[in-house]
Structure 1
Amino acid sequence: MGFQMNLALRTLSLVLIGLILCCSVFADIVILKDGFILQGTVKRESVTEFDPVSKEPVIIPKGFYMVDDGARRIYFNPNLVRTLDKRDPIQEERWIHSKAIYIPNGKGAPPFWAEVEATDWDSKWERTLKYRSPVGLVGVFQHISNLSSYSIRVDAASKFVWSSMYLTQELGSKKVISLIKSHPDFQNTDKVKPEEMASRRFKLVDFLAQAGWFEDSEKELKSLAKDLPEHKDRTDKAQEVIESLRGRERLEKIKRIIGAGRLSEARKLLDSFPMAEAKDKVLTEIQSLQSKLEKALEQFLLAQKNLVYLSSALSEKKSDPVLIKAVDNLQKIITEESIDRLDAFLSISKQKNNDGSTGTLGELEKAASLAISGWVMGNSSADPNPISAKRLWLTRTFIIDFIKAENSQKRKGAFDAFLNKYPSAKAEEVGQVLLQTILPIDSKPTGKVIEKELTSGKSSGAKYSIRYPVDANPNRLYPLLVVFPGTNESVDSMLEKWAPFADEYGFILLGYHWQIGGIGYAFSDKEHFAVLDMLRDARLNSPVDPDKVFLFGYEQGASVAFDLGLSHPDQFAGVIPMSSTILDMFIEKYWRNGQYLPFYVVNGDRSGDTNLKTRQLFTNWMPRGYPSIWSQYKGRGVEFFSAEIPFICDWMRGKSRVFPMNQLGSDGGGSILGNEFQSTRFCDNQFYWIGSDTINENRLNYPQTWKQNLQPASFFAKSDVATNTVTIKTYGMKNFYLLFGKNSKGESQIDFDKPVSVTSNLISKWNGKVTPSLDTLMETFLETGDRKNHVYAKVLIKP
């Protein structure tokens, strides 16, 4: 279950005949501007000071805002909040397993760097844990003292004063049920009154339902009903409640499947939806979804039918082969999700079907032109002119040939052939066609990991693994999650952890084959080029949405994600570092580069030095309104927090890459108050639409000879379309370049029809008209694989 939905379900109050199923301990609901939901108690950190007169302690709010959900502190920027709903706290079902723990001269546990060994939890709710720390191997006995449907408190029973919190989902239903049934409440029950025993068993049913484990809850309820038939009314009511909750969960899963593009499966699930679970609003939503999906399918089948007929009629009347081939191809690449792009074509086809006429060749070609131009450019740009439609389709063919060309000579041949046919081809129109041109996948996606080899770029010959969602539609774009595993873990193992979520939420998984263990990540140019080449190859040859590329890393892999994200923020929609082990050098220098790039940072507050450095990072980010959150587990160390993944997937759903065209950073005049983009490494030389190939040597830093006090080169840029001026502030470079074009929203820095004035460091440096270049568009597309942000011109300027 997606945890955003799980949290929503947990806010319901459900009556189980005398028992109130209080589904959440959470008091407040925070909805961020991107739609992500935080639930818990809203707090702010504070400090204690003493009144100089009364000498009494005074608590003063100071520090980060957070949502405390019991197991975690989720730090957030209040500027990112859309709404806050304050509520009274509600109590959830829980089991207490008290144990007198006395630790003379107890001290805090050393930082937790890595789990070495952990026994299973026994019937006394205890285990032995061994972990690696700065002081060596640490062993400790642990005891579960509090087990609720949402979180678990674990206390050290020896050596240390140490409590740690787990999300109940981390243990899984099987282990949790086993623990509860070994609780004293379920032992030696001969003298327990029947009513009390029934209450305890109903409590277990409630608990499992609150945790979202509806099948287990229903199983326990059926057993209870069989053993205690005198409580039939109560069990029947409980069954209704469980069915209602499970129906809501089932519906939300179907919505996620629809969002992943698996419409056929969604229809099957809606048609087989259990009627006992389809009640009230759920039933209404089911009917609405069924109606929308059926209409989309009806339009899709109608479009295919009309395209088949149109192809036959065009062939019969000896129409242009390009139009016939285009119509044949449309039959294969149209999708239900984007069928509205063919509205104009379907409308005219319907008119012809109604009057029963076949149509003249001219009428048929107009219909074909509406289909081709509507699909390529969007229904609002559908054009019945066959000449325009043919040009658009041949543009699409050129783009595919350009991508698939085996070498630069063949690529040049494709480019020259296209220009010979259309010498006045405009970069803007080719860019529009580029948005809708997707290379077909070689075979039907089955959910298996595929190994690929880079055939071009600086890292030619390197290998990476890619996994498409099950039943992925090759004619739609998908988000991409690039994963970096921790020390001694394989890429494929990390892909396997994410695979179920990739299928349900609909995103492609990708992992690069280098060994992060051994000597570790080197923060080198070579490593950056390898990842960027891999990303470029995936964008070019797979249905990747460039506006929805995310990085995830665990442990050392988290440091890789941090470094890549902050070094190339214009390439990603979000970064998710989990339990990072290194947060210095370039990461420490580049914190300003995260001003438009959202981070979802996860760690434990017992992870030692990296937890302190994470706090320092957010101390820089929070006052400046950077779009990041920090999920911190209480009493935990460097661990893989598996129960966080559903939260992360929900966070990713609301994210698209931010690519600002009017301003990059803010000018601090070289002081610490600014938000200029920073570069101190050759491979980190471009940010959005400004870059430099000539950063001064005295601004460059190297991991082997790191100089902490060395100041990076910096970039600030601002454009004004109204006056067609660009203002630049740069430090530490010989020259810089500007990339003029359009982002995926159609926004540009300038008006290409008017002269442009560029001022650098208060001095006028360049004046002239910028002419969009098809050659520049295609070359930059080939270099990056980015089909959504188009570069029409590159202007080199010396400060």
Structure 2
Amino acid sequence: MKRRTSSLIALGVIWLSVPAAAWGTIVELKNGMRLEGSVGKIASMSDDPLKTPTAGAVDNQLIVLVDNDLKRTFVSTYQVQDVQEAAPTPVERIKIDQRVATSGRSVHAVGEGIRVTPWDEYGRRIYSMQTARGPVDVIQGITEITPEWTRVEGLMSDSPYVWDMRIRTSSIPRDKLSEILMRRIDAKDAAQRLQIVRLYLQSERYRDAAAELSALMNDFEDLKKQFGKQYDELIQLSATTLIDEVELRKDTGQHNLAYGMLNKFPGDKVASSTLLKVKSMLTEYQTAYERRDKMFNLLKEHLEAFADPAQKPIVEAAMAEMEAELNINNMDRLGPYLRLSDDPSLKLDEKLALAISGWILGPNSAQENLVVALSVYQARDLVSDYISNRNDVDRRAILEKLKGMEGGAPVYVAKILQFMKPPLGNAEPETASEIPGYYLMRVPGVPGRSDFFYYVQLPQGYDPYRKYPTVMTLHGAGTTAEQQIDWWAGSHSEKAKIRTGQAARNGYIVIAPMWAEEHQFEYNYSAYEHAAVLFSLRHALRHFSIDTDRVYLSGHSMGGDAAWDIGLAHPDLWAGVIPIVAKADKYVARYWENARSVPLYFVGGELDGNKRELNSRDFDRYLTKTNFDTTIVEYRGRGHEHFQDEIQDIFRWMDIHKRNFFPKEYEVVSMRPWDNFFYWLEVNDFPERSLVLPANYPEPKKSPVKITAKVLATNGVLVNSGTGKANIYLTPDIVNFDERMTITYDGRNYGNGVTPSTEVMLEDARTRADRLHPFWAKVDTNDR
């Protein structure tokens, strides 16, 4: 847990009589993650993490285990950057008296949850689960509460179960947690009341800690002098937390919300330095709005002075668009124009050119030639029409127009694609909701089958001029796409008129395809299921402003199985894959090497049947070999459930993972004909010895086709695949088109006469829908 160390030291008086310390070992990973807990090593994920290793076994223990009492996290020793022994942080532990079951049936596996009642005021609930013997009800009680985790145990009953599970303390509703704590302590005992203050403080619930300390001082007059300063510091910590929230909303593009929070910022007992920061942030917003107004006035002034009758209609159209759509997310495009607007050496048409070209191509490509600027402005609309048009004849006509325009050159079209709004952003959804930004979308399906559908939730303040990180989430058996949206984005608050979950806070788009057939209870590894996910992704890319380098695939249960398989089958599409309570089967075992190309974050429960044993073969591959960025999280005493507890750590992991679409070298495998596109390479005609369809799986004598690709320092690429033919796509990130290049595929050279093509670029943007990384040229090995 993140700690405000200096603030906690300042509140040292409150730490009197604090119980045992928390873990002091910090493991820093190469991907930027930090893990804290008790550290050990194991040789295999099938090993018992609690068992002491035998003599001589340590040498092959390449899996690092970090246990923080809530969960165990497993990573590869090859991914560890540093291990630090830090001073342990004191942690409050509050015991709750319960009649704990010490005899009876021991819970060795937790079946799928049927019903879990809410916590009552005594910290008890009923957990109903499905077992081989039928439904079972277990009475559970909270027996220990810490800032990070809460211990839940089976209680005495007519049919007791011995069960020790851990949940994140923050998963207990705040009001209910307070009620449970207040029933546990003697309200007339100041020392016990201070326990609750310390617990809230260490949980970073500063407002709750301040409220409890205030109530304590009101009940014990003699404590006001002793704890008055600590109360003020808690108010300051609460204000600092609010500042952090404002900065998060600002950084994620939720400017109206951030600005409103700043205007309503509480000032009572808040340090002057904090209030100065609030004032500075308000001034920053005000400066931005004044800068925008200045741009408006300059554009109006320059337009009125512009007199060329032939060009003025187009200039007026461009100016009207900027006036209508210029905002805090895109006004940096006019930065060069604003900076040079009063330069006497620039002519009027050159200034207007800077504005228009910057608006279309971005600030780094703004130029002073008005003819070019107007050409790219007109080309932008044609580009949008092309990639959104499904008629071949119409597209050919558009392409002919672009070929006759300077703005239709590949160097300009690439920038147009990067900075344009989604081409179908104004299309009507299948259905809209009363919840802002929540839509059901229809996707044309595969021939002969019905259309696909997906739900999408846009973040508050969504702006098509801003690129958003995105989660694609796949539901499990018996759950729905709507529930997946709620899991990630939170429920909708009628009072606040916003969703309150982590995707909403962090400014993520959430997409939930309705990917499975009705009454489907297991993932089938089929082309249809892949299409349901990938077609939905491409449809969303055409309709919404998505950062294609930050798309994360996740799923629960059966959906987790799908996410694992689809993530390995198409590793170039994802910044990371998060399978939750997933199991490895079929192609996952054959595609394990592809996990080197995509970060993986698994979440599961210690008691989820034999899931760890089923997955151990593939987990061991990821954790005992080099160059795998894999994290496996296992909650103690938990089974097959949704693991909402983990969502904040998942977002921390996603925030530090971004896709590298142009690796210098990669190696992948495939066994299905639709798993054939990897980064800039599309392979076809798989050899029969490598082709296995899901209906025929397994075919033990067949092995995956291995594809290796490398970008050469000598201006070329080298590909070996063993397939019949391929399309190799090129960009300036891969080769220099102005120099001689070598394109070698399975020993043959195809590098002669390769030049950038607007047609190739537009077809790629139309079909793949990745406007951030369009391909410039195509080498078809079948043509040579």
Shorter-chain TM-score tier? 0.7 to 0.9
Establish whether residue 311 from structure 1 lines up as the match of residue 308 from structure 2: no
1:389 paired residue number: 373
Alignment of 1:266-277 (within 5 A): 266-276=258-268
Checking the alignment, whether the CA contact within 8 Å between 2:669 and 2:704 is kept in structure 1 is yes
Unaligned runs of 5+ residues in structure 1 are 1-5, 53-57, 353-358, 666-676
Superposed counterparts of 1:211-226, under 5 Å: 211-226=203-218
Secondary structure of 1:13's aligned partner? helix
Change (3 A) 1:277 1:587: farther
Which residue of the partner structure matches residue 95 of structure 2? 96
Report whether the alignment pairs 1:756 with 2:741. yes
Alpha-carbon displacement from aligned partner over 1:382-420 (angstroms, at most 9, x marks no partner): 211111211221221211222343533222222222223
- Indicate yes or no: 2:438 matched with 1:449: yes
Determine helix, strand or coil for the equivalent of 1:476: coil
Shift of 1:26: 4.2
Whether contact under 8 Å (1:468, 1:508) holds in the other structure is: yes
Deviations 1:700-741 (A, max 9, x none): 223333116231122111121x3234322224x322332222
Alpha-carbon separation, structure 2, partners of 1:340 and 1:87: 43
**Deviations, residues 475-529 of structure 1 (Å, cap 9, x unaligned):** 2111121121222222122212322323221121212224466233321111212
State, as a whole percentage, how many aligned pairs show the same letter: 24
The alignment status of 1:467 with 2:457, answered yes or no, reads yes
Aligned residue for 1:490? 480
Equivalent pair of 2:707/2:720 in contact (CA under 8 Å)? yes
Which residue of 1 is the match for residue 496 of structure 2? none
Cα 1:518–1:460 shift into 2, 3 Å: closer
Between 1:174-183 and 1:10-19, the stretch displaced more is 10-19
Q: Is the 8 Å Cα contact of residues 48 and 60 (structure 1) preserved in structure 2?
A: no
Structure 2 stretches of 5 or more lacking a match?
A: 44-50, 490-499
Query: RMSD between aligned alpha carbons?
Result: 3.1
Aligned with 2:409 (options 426, 451, 467) = 426
- In the aligned structure 2, how far is the partner of 1:411 from the partner of 1:781? 13
Q: Which residue of 1 aligns with 2:3?
A: 8
2:393 is equivalent to residue 413 of structure 1: no
Question: In the alignment, what sits opposite 2:567?
Answer: 565
Q: Is the 8 A contact 1:154 1:165 kept in 2?
A: yes
* TM-score, scaled relative to structure 1: 0.86
Q: TM-score normalized by structure 2? A: 0.88
Aligned length: 750
2:243 is the alignment partner of 1:251: yes
- The residue that corresponds to 1:27 in the other structure is 24
Secondary structure of the 1:18 match is helix
Contact 2:62 2:76 in 1 (8 A): no
Give the CA deviation at 1:60: 6.6
Q: Distance in 2 between matches of 1:753 and 1:382?
A: 23
Label 1:325 to 1:287 Cα distance change in 2 as closer, same or farther (>3 A). Answer: same
User: Secondary structure in 1 aligned to 2:612?
Assistant: helix
Q: Deviations over 1:242-276 (max 9, x none)?
A: 21221222111111101221223322322332234
Deviation at 1:102, TM superposition (A): 6.5
Contact 1:487 1:517 (8 Å CA) reproduced: no
2:585 corresponds to which residue?
Answer: 584
Give the deviation of 1:126 after TM superposition: 4.0
Name 1:771's counterpart in structure 2: 755
SS of the residue corresponding to residue 376 of structure 2 reads: helix
Q: C-alpha distance in 1, partners of 2:404/2:749?
A: 36
SS where residue 741 of structure 2 aligns? Answer: strand
Name which of structure 1's ranges 494-503 and 122-131 shifts more when overlaid on structure 2: 122-131
Task: For 2:12 and 2:770, locate their aligned partners in 1 and report how far apart those are by CA, in whole Å.
Answer: 58
Determine the C-alpha separation between the residues in 1 that align with 2:547 and 2:396: 26
2:146 is aligned to 148
SS of residue matched to 1:755: coil
Deviations 1:124-173 (CA, angstroms, capped at 9, x unpaired): 54444332245654443434332112111223346655421111111222
Aligned to 1:66: 65
Instruction: Give yes or no for the alignment of 1:335 onto 2:327.
Output: yes
Residue in 1 aligned with 2:612? 611
In 2, distance between residues paired with 1:662 and 1:370?
A: 35
Superposed CA offset, 1:309-358 (max 9, x none): 33333369774322221222122333324433322211222457xxxxxx
- CA offsets 1:552-610 (integer angstroms, 9 cap, x no match): 21111111211221111111111111112x31112222122121211221111111232
Q: What residue is the counterpart of 1:656 in the other structure?
A: 658
Q: Which residue of 2 aligns with 1:230?
A: 222
**Residue type of the partner of 2:655?**
R
Distance between the aligned counterparts of 1:637 and 1:98, measured in 2? 25
Between 1:230-239 and 1:80-89, the stretch displaced more is: 80-89
Distance 1:567 1:50, change over 3 A: closer
- Distance change (3 Å), C-alpha of 1:309 and 1:493: farther
* CA distance 1:455–1:413, shift in 2 (3 Å): farther
CA distance, structure 1, for counterparts of residue 414 and residue 444 of structure 2: 25
Shift of 1:632: 1.4
Cα deviation code 1:225-245 (max 9, x no counterpart): 322222112342332232122
Letter in 2 for 1:71: L
Alpha carbons of structure 1 residues 516 and 87: separation in structure 2 relative to 1, 3 Å: farther
User: Partners in 2 of 1:526 and 1:567 — Cα distance?
Assistant: 14
Query: Where does residue 206 of structure 1 map in the other structure?
Result: 198
1:106-125 maps to which residues of 2 (within 5 A)?
108-122=106-120, 125=123
| Counterpart for residue 172 of structure 2 | 171
Partner of 1:545: 547
Instruction: Give the C-alpha shift of residue 285 in structure 1.
Output: 4.6
Partner Cα distance (1:594, 1:695) in 2: 21
Q: Secondary structure at the match of 1:790?
A: coil
